[in-house]
Structures are given as structure tokens and as C-alpha cells.
Amino acid sequence: MKNVVIFADGACKGNPGPGGWGVVLRYNGNEKHLYGFAAETTNNRMELTAAIMALEALKERCVVEITTDSQYVRNGITSWLANWKRKNWKTADNKPVKNVDLWRQLEAQTERHQVTWHWVRGHTGHPGNELADELANRAIREHYSAADR
């Protein structure tokens, strides 16, 4: 299987507000950048979307290392998901899990690959995370630049 390194990040101007997601994919010395925009969203939805889009971009089963600055995403997929499903998508305090649609998509994508999750503190100079953040913010900037034309 191919070994792929991914950096995924989301950004939101206001929460909720306009948002973007960014992904850096690295494989065998090559690097690919992906990013996208959502008009009305939350930061957590953009963080999840970045991870989903990164995994969806892989055309075959891979060994994947994903780095995110979102504890929500990393803890959700590695620790909380099993309990949420067991409790019919309820949190520990019996409230509905937010973003269930995206959690289901992320789970489906992780089942296609052998994924290891890593967390880094955001905005601390980690090169891969900073680039993913720049891509997420670029998505927002480009959307508004295009709207001004």
C-alpha cells in the first residue's frame, strides 16, 4: 500500500460564518493541495470536511498519517465515535451529536484506509499545518475576490 501523509485544516470567519478547508497530501516526494469553501458553516464542520476531502482524494487503499490541529476531529474519530454510535448518536450527557452527517462520512472514509491520527497545536509554526491553514483561508479569500468581480 502507498504511504500518504496528510495535513488537514479548517477555517471560519465567524462561527458560524463563511468557511474554508485546506488539505496537503504528500506521497513519494510529490505534494498536492486541495481546498474549498462553504458559505455558512462552523469551524468544526470545516475541520471535519478537510479530513473527509483528503481521504476521498485517495483513489486506492493507503496507509495514511493525518495531522490536524483539531482535538475535536482527532478525539472524535479515535475515542468518541464508538460511544456515540452505541448511544444512537448521543453524547455522554445524552445530547445529540453535532455534525453527524460529517462524522458518518469521515468514518466511511477511514474504513477505506489504514489511518493514524496526529494532533499539533495550531498556529505554532508547524509547516504542514500552516500550509493547510493557508489553503483553508485562501478558499475564503478567493471566494470573496471572485464575488467582487
Active site residues: 9-10, 47, 69, 123, 133
Task: Identify the helix (H) or strand (E) that includes residue 24.
Answer: strand 17-27
C-alpha distance across the termini of the chain, in Å: 45
Q: What is residue 97's three-state secondary structure?
A: coil
In a 13 Å sphere around the CA of 63, the CA atoms on its Cβ side amount to: 4
